[in-house]
Amino acid sequence: MYGLTYALVTYMTRNYSGGHVNPAISLCFMITGALKFVPFLLYVACQVGGAALAAFVFSVNHADADVVKTPVGAHFWSNFSVEMLGTLSLVLVVLNSRISRNRDGSETPAYENYQASFFGFIIGSTAFAWTIAAGEFSGGVFNPAIGTMSVVFGKKEDLLLYWFGPLVGAVVGVFVFILTNPHELSGTGVWLINQSVQHTRTAITEARYVSNAMLNEFVGTMLFSVVFSLIVASKTAGSLSAFAIGMFFAAMVYSGAHISGGHYNPAVSFAVFLRAWIWRGDTVGGMFLGSRAKQLLFNIVAQLAGAFAAAGICILLVGESDFGFPAFGKSPLGGKLVEARSSVTFGNAFLSEFLGLQVLCGAFLHTTSCPRKSGNNGYYGFAIGLSLALAIYAFGNVGGGVFNPALAMLQTVSGAAAPMEVFCYWSSGAVGAVVAAFTFWLLVSDEDGEDFSEAIGSDEEKGLLFNGDRDRQKSGCCR
């Protein structure tokens, strides 16, 4: 209900105030220059005042209850981490759903953004997924105004947590957003942030192989892996687990499609690479294929780095690993970061992962690289997210419902993975991507690439370079 309420309120208030309803979100717009400092203070005052009024109304009928409950035994830094990461995810989704400029600097009216009508559901899906994932830690607030509601009940001990965590997450989120969307950087924002972002972008450029696409794949994979692991380890997620994972994946796809394609999965990246190779394999010069292969490698490296970072975070949150890494404190969670079924044979686990990847990769290819049938559609993210949820519901009880080779690396860091388990996830991912790409080619052979300017994805992803001729550019399929 929290996610649906967040979506509803965002839809209701966006045309009047921007639909922030969260001091952390308002801080983001103040930092980027979209909101002046005095209006920012007024926004925060209204948000906190509204939350306090709601808490007072609630207390009239529930005098002994508390609207915000922190689990007993949870450590401050564990709670801080999930509040920060959840807010970071929320900020990235909010800001990326409100892109105002194209990469050439020209303005794009909001009504022309093909995903603009889904912004409320995207934001609500993010809040819903993190609430399911973090409920056993901090309660899943991600909103300083809501965190302040406990003051009405005379409880002030968690006030620092619910302000400090989200506000730090908001600042980090703005920083990542500007690094991955440099065309959005405005000189009207906070000077210190602008200067630090410019210096950081210079350092990234000098690193040669680090791009905004790689950074997006790294951050997106890390956040998705953390959510996946926390939901798997949770004792209360129940039947909503698969839906929460799928909806968060949908939100991250929407958030990063214009930057890197929004894959966050080596199998999906490989399927999209094969889609491009099969499409023009007989006419494309070696330079194109070499560039594609290099981009595929960079994407996978970024995704694996994100998975390893997520593993380290989850080990600190969930508890000690087999390598003796210390946890932040007593954790309410425990168990594996990825839950494979040890009683299932390798063949059954491989088959379940393979079939799930047919659903996921097929949805990705059909909704993002079919411009003649579904070009510039706004539903692609939800189709992809729901396909992942469906695959988990259908096959999760067999192979664990991973469908992402990068997630297999979580277990290697935790020391709980068997070699055949990791091999199962990677081999099924590779075979599944190949079969999905060739199946797509057989079904939609008329999508020959002539109209790929209408496909979903980043400009770099749709712009192909043939035989080194920079004047001869065509549009290509998703990376």
pLDDT band at 412 (very low <50, low <70, confident <90, very high): confident
Q: Give the pLDDT score at 354.
A: 94
State the Cα–Cα distance between residues 220 and 414, nearest whole angstrom: 20
pLDDT band at 421 (very low <50, low <70, confident <90, very high): confident
Query: pLDDT digit string (tens) for 382-403?
Result: 999 999 999 999 988 887 788 9
Radius of gyration of the chain (CA): 22
State the Cα–Cα distance between residues 357 and 475, nearest whole angstrom: 26
What tokens does 130 get? 């993190």
Range among 40-44, 93-97, 155-159, 419-423 rated most confident: 40-44
Q: Which residues are paired to 101 by β-bridges?
A: 107
State the Cα–Cα distance between residues 459 and 400, nearest whole angstrom: 35
Name the least confident of 120-129, 224-233, 261-270, 318-327: 318-327
Residue 22: which of 111, 96, 95 has the closest Cα? Answer: 95
- The answer to whether 140 and 2 are in contact (CB under 8 A) is yes
What is 1-208's CATH topology? Glycerol uptake facilitator protein (1.20.1080)
pLDDT band at 475 (very low <50, low <70, confident <90, very high): very low
Q: Give me the mean pLDDT over the 2-28 stretch.
A: 86
State the Cα–Cα distance between residues 455 and 462, nearest whole angstrom: 7
Average pLDDT, the chain: 77
Name the least confident of 54-68, 256-270, 437-451, 464-478: 464-478
Q: Give me the mean pLDDT over the 413-433 stretch.
A: 81
Q: Give the pLDDT score at 314.
A: 83
Domains 1-208 and 259-479 fall in the same CATH topology: yes
Decide which of 446 and 28 is more confident: 28
Q: Which residues are paired to 304 by β-bridges?
A: none
Q: Which residues are paired to 107 by β-bridges?
A: 101
What tokens does 219 get? 């951050």
Query: pLDDT digit string (tens) for 320-368?
Result: 444 333 444 444 444 455 555 556 788 888 999 999 999 999 999 999 8
List of residues 6+ apart from 466 with CB closer than 8 A: 284, 285, 288, 472, 473, 474
- Which class for 155: exposed (0-12), middle (13-18), buried (19 or more C-beta within 10 A)? middle
Flag whether pLDDT at 469 surpasses 70: no
State the Cα–Cα distance between residues 314 and 90, nearest whole angstrom: 19
Q: Which residues are paired to 475 by β-bridges?
A: 463
Decide which of 119 and 262 is more confident: 262
**% pLDDT > 70, the chain:** 71
Range among 61-70, 235-244, 403-412 rated most confident: 403-412
Query: pLDDT digit string (tens) for 428-450?
Result: 999 999 999 999 988 887 676 55
State the Cα–Cα distance between residues 44 and 47, nearest whole angstrom: 5
* Structural domain spans, the chain: 1-208, 259-479
Query: pLDDT digit string (tens) for 95-128?
Result: 988 765 444 445 444 434 455 678 888 999 999 9
**% pLDDT > 90, the chain:** 30
Flag whether pLDDT at 57 surpasses 60: yes
pLDDT band at 182 (very low <50, low <70, confident <90, very high): confident
State the Cα–Cα distance between residues 151 and 138, nearest whole angstrom: 16
Q: Give the pLDDT score at 383.
A: 93
Decide which of 104 and 253 is more confident: 253
Q: Give the pLDDT score at 238.
A: 73
Q: Give me the mean pLDDT over the 294-304 stretch.
A: 90
Question: Class for domain 259-479, per CATH?
Answer: mainly alpha
Q: Give the pLDDT score at 334.
A: 43
